[in-house]
Amino acid sequence: MRSGASDERQAERPPIVFVEKQANAMRISAVTPGAAALGLTPGLSLADARARVPDLLAIDRDHGAERRLLGRIAAACIRYTPMVAAEPPDGLVLDISGCTHPYGDEAGLTADLSRRLKREGIAHRAAIAATPEAARALARFGSSQAERVEAAGRSVSLSTLRQAQGEYGRVEALKALPVAALEAAPEVELALRRAGLKTIGDLAARPRAMLAARFGDLPIRLARLLEEEDRRITPDRPLPAIAAVRRFAEPIARMDHALSVLGELVAETGVALEARGQGGRRFEARFFRSDGAVRALAVETGRPARDPAMLMRLFRERIEGLRDPIDPGFGFDLIRLDIARADPMAADQPGFDEPARIAEETDALIDRLATRMGRGRLRRAAPRESHIPERATLSVDPAAGIPAWRAPMPGEPPLRPLHIFDPPQPVEVMAEVPDGAPKWFRWRGRDYVTLRSEGPERIAAEWWRRRKNQGLIRDYYRVEDVSGRRFWLFRSGLYGEQEALPRWYLHGLFA
């Protein structure tokens, strides 16, 4: 947040400052234009500020809320380009190469962005340059042409960039920036100023080798700032494989209309996917409302898919399953569909193969349910190499391939329970010392008298998983009580050797 000293709107009453605890004192860390006009600056202690302006309103600074706001703005900027990177606490970089045609040119895009931000009351500065560093420096340190809007103490500086050759005017503007724009270490900046190098232009006139000898990486920063060396930005979201966008001159306010547009986009991307011999695994639809709010919906499939009818069914399921329905408000002015993940997919061939058809239809059912419930709720069990019963199962995605489970020995009764408790339930047990089976036990306030039992089956702890405590040996018993219920109990530790008085647990219930 930065302060704007010259602001004619002094309407806010009382002036607001944002405070933060720094070195054991409450200090101002950000101010509103109104407060700045009264001479309050960041760094001032709150006590001093109150002495000067008694009716000051001090609010705790909430970095989390600022980050969230920045995240929301970044999400909304996806309407311009998928290459959006947030630079916390208050910067955004957009790579708008090749994205400007709907707005005429770069200036048109910037104007559109500024208009939207202004409407939301977000103070910002935007600059366009050929490298992220140059754009950032122009937005933050440039003075002349940078636009400035201030409101309600919220401000975000935006830098936009373009991968084009630098124009003469911009190079001049860059050269006029103070050396602080390099954002080098404070001592470097101080040394430069002491040497009489005040602007980037001064520095650029010096031989680079000398600067490197004295200041290390400074020439690299300089080159990036002067648009001589390009560094691509890393977008916050991975770039989609395929994307399709629809813009509307007149916002559409009806959800069924929006869905039919989404259907067109799905069909469009389907054609593109088919051309590549791919199918999508994750489809993300974004509805951009004209007031800046963005609603994102994602649909995942177990196997690559591109059938528009099936995908639209999934999207409808997803929308039906939403806890808070999508509110078009005053309408959507842009709908975007990203295929975030695509995998190779063979051309469609109506299957004569019965097992393949069954597998396919089962996957379709899983996708349908997963869209509504969330994929994490649908699982299959895969075996895992572990003797510890609660670790012997891995819960995997239903579409995953699962190795075969060990088949039970013919003729044996079930040796593992159908239901298992994790963690095991503590029970009171009466058993012969040292290794007798339980004769009686109490679980959940009820007594059970054991009639038959088998055991112990000894399962040693996985000592390699623990560093200090080796873990206790478990002696498992299969027991059946007088009414025929079958339980799986274990004693944790050996009498006398590992534990003075080992504890007993109920670990599972047999059918």
Partner 1 sequence: MPESSPSFAALKRQFAMSEPCSDARGRFALGCPTIDTALGGGLARGRLHEVFAAQEEDGASTAGFALMLALRACDAGETIFWIRQEAGARIAGRIHAPGLAELGADPRRILFADTPDEAATLRAAADALRSPVIGAVLIAPWGKAPMLDLTASRRLTLAAEQSGVTAILLRGAVEPPPSAATSRWRVSAAPSIPLEADAPGHPAFMVDLLRHRSGLSASGWRLEWDRDRLAFRAPPLSVALAPLAAERRADAERRFG
- Interacting residue ranges for partner 1, rule: CB under 8 A: 357-358, 361-362, 364-366, 368-369, 372-373, 377-381, 383, 389, 392-393, 398, 402, 404-408, 410-411, 413-422, 439-440, 446, 449-454, 478-480, 482-486, 508-511
Task: Compute CA 169 distance to the chain's CA centroid, rounded to the nearest angstrom.
Answer: 39
Question: Three-class SS of residue 53?
Answer: coil
Q: CB 333 → partner 1: shortest distance, Å? A: 34
| CB of 2 or CB of 416, closer to partner 1 | 416
Please say whether the dihedral angle defined by the alpha carbons of residues 170, 172, 173 and 174, taken in this order, is positive or negative.
Answer: positive
| CB of 329 or CB of 408, closer to partner 1 | 408
Count Cα neighbours of 255 within 13 Å in the Cβ-side half-sphere. 10
Q: CB 384 → partner 1: shortest distance, Å? A: 10
| CB of 295 or CB of 478, closer to partner 1 | 478
Q: How many CB atoms lie within 10 A of CB 475?
A: 23
Q: CB 316 → partner 1: shortest distance, Å? A: 13
Q: CB 463 → partner 1: shortest distance, Å? A: 22
Q: CB 434 → partner 1: shortest distance, Å? A: 17
Task: Compute CA 363 distance to the chain's CA centroid, rounded to the nearest angstrom.
Answer: 27
Q: CB 64 → partner 1: shortest distance, Å? A: 28
Whether omega before 456 lies within 30 degrees of 0, making that bond cis, reads yes
- Give, as one character, the DSSP assignment of residue 324: S
Residue type, 162: R
Residue 301 CB contacts under 8 Å (≥ 6 apart), including other chains: 279, 280, 281, 282, 283, 311, 314, 363, 367
Q: CB 376 → partner 1: shortest distance, Å? A: 8
Q: For residues 505 and 9, what is the distance between their CA atoms, to the nearest angstrom? A: 71
| CB of 191 or CB of 378, closer to partner 1 | 378
| CB of 443 or CB of 495, closer to partner 1 | 443
Residue 76 CB contacts under 8 Å (≥ 6 apart), including other chains: 116, 288, 292, 293, 294
| CB of 54 or CB of 401, closer to partner 1 | 401
Kindly state the greatest CA–CA separation across the chain: 96
| CB of 193 or CB of 391, closer to partner 1 | 391
| CB of 121 or CB of 414, closer to partner 1 | 414
Query: What are the residues facing 474 on neighbouring strands?
Result: 459, 492
Q: CB 474 → partner 1: shortest distance, Å? A: 15
Q: For residues 32 and 41, what is the distance between their CA atoms, to the nearest angstrom? A: 10
CA end-to-end distance (rounded Å), the chain: 64
